């Protein structure tokens, strides 16, 4: 069985998003490929329907993955929460591989992905199904009072940030909820190891693997 095709009880029974939502996802600025987006959507739908709780994302960027969480939340009658300081990760800063100069606020000279994020969600017709939390993930997690049905970690990719996201948000994840980690690369030649390390930690702490799609891992809390 190939890495991208390893099966999943979460995705096998879930329909793909509508053609309109998929087109909005594909048109949005961002990095997530379609096959990983479909796996994220399947997990989000499963978590939203089973728990009825909000779906939490760390790393909104320009709203590409948020579209899928918002659509899953809309269909299940809940909401997507998405956390980002909107100043970009390390690799998105000027001079780095993933920098996009069109996302720099010329007045302050810093990245600001919030305007593009808002336009993206507005254009997809999903603005009313998303609560954007603008701030640093551990700070937001520390004051967040409720439970969530899904935690999707796609924020900063250093150990400091990945561990902060894991330790900040996993305590808010309901029993039976799903933890989704992006950019998990067991082989260091394929990418940074911080997401892989929190994925291993989740397994060691009792999460069960649900699916593997590219670099996207879906785990269920017992
Ligand atoms: C890889 S991008 C997210 C991509 C997005 N999920 C998508 O599919 O298009 C990572 C984002 O995490 C944000 N970020 C990094 N560290 C953060 C932190 N500690 N708190 C909040 N946001 C953070 C960055 O600003 C950036 O927008």
The predicted pLDDT at position 13 comes to 57
Residue 107 is encoded by which pair of tokens? 């007045």
Residue 102 lies in a domain: yes
Number of domains in the chain: 1
Q: Whose CA is nearest to atom 9 of ligand 1?
A: 30
Residue 49 lies in a domain: yes
Residues with CB under 6 A from ligand 1: 30-32, 59, 61, 64-65, 83-89, 113, 136-137, 154-156, 161
Ligand 1 centroid from CA 32, angstroms = 12
Residue 2 lies in a domain: no
The predicted pLDDT at position 15 comes to 81
CATH number of the domain at 95, please: 3.40.50.150
Residue 46 is encoded by which pair of tokens? 């499963």
Residue 163 lies in a domain: no
Residue 72 lies in a domain: yes
Per-10-residue mean pLDDT of the chain, 222 residues long, equals: 40 78 98 97 98 98 98 98 96 89 94 98 98 98 98 97 98 98 97 97 98 98 94
Residue 197 lies in a domain: yes
Residue 83 lies in a domain: yes
Residue whose CB lies within 8 A of the most ligand 1 atoms, among 35, 60, 104, 153, for a mutation test:
60
The predicted pLDDT at position 181 comes to 98
Q: Residue holding tokens 């995705």?
A: 11
105 class by beta-carbon count within 10 Å (0-12 exposed, 13-18 middle, 19+ buried): middle
Q: Structural domain of residue 143, as residue ranges?
A: 9-157+168-220
The predicted pLDDT at position 209 comes to 98
Q: Model's pTM, two decimal places?
A: 0.94
Active site residues: 157
The predicted pLDDT at position 6 comes to 44
């Amino acid at each position: 069985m190939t890495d991208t095709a390893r099966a999943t009880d979460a995705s096998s029974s879930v329909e793909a998003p509508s053609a309109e939502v998929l087109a909005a996802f594909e048109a949005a600025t961002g990095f997530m490929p379609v096959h990983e987006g479909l796996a994220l959507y399947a997990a989000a739908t499963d978590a939203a329907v089973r728990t009825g709780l909000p779906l939490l994302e760390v790393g909104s960027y320009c709203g590409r993955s948020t579209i899928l969480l918002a659509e899953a939340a809309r269909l299940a009658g809940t909401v997507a929460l998405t956390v980002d300081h909107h100043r970009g990760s390390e690799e998105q800063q000027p001079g780095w591989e993933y920098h996009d100069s069109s996302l720099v606020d010329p007045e302050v000279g810093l990245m600001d992905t919030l305007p593009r994020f808002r336009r993206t969600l507005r254009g997809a017709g999903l603005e009313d199904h998303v609560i954007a939390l603008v701030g640093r993930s551990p700070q937001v997690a520390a004051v967040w009072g409720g439970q969530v049905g899904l935690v999707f970690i796609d924020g900063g990719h250093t150990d400091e940030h990945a561990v902060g996201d894991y330790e900040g948000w996993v305590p808010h994840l309901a029993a039976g909820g799903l933890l989704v980690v992006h950019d998990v690369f067991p082989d260091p030649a394929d990418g940074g190891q911080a997401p892989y390390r929190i994925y291993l930690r989740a397994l060691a702490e009792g999460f069960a693997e649900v699916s593997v799609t590219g670099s996207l891992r879906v785990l269920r809390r017992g």
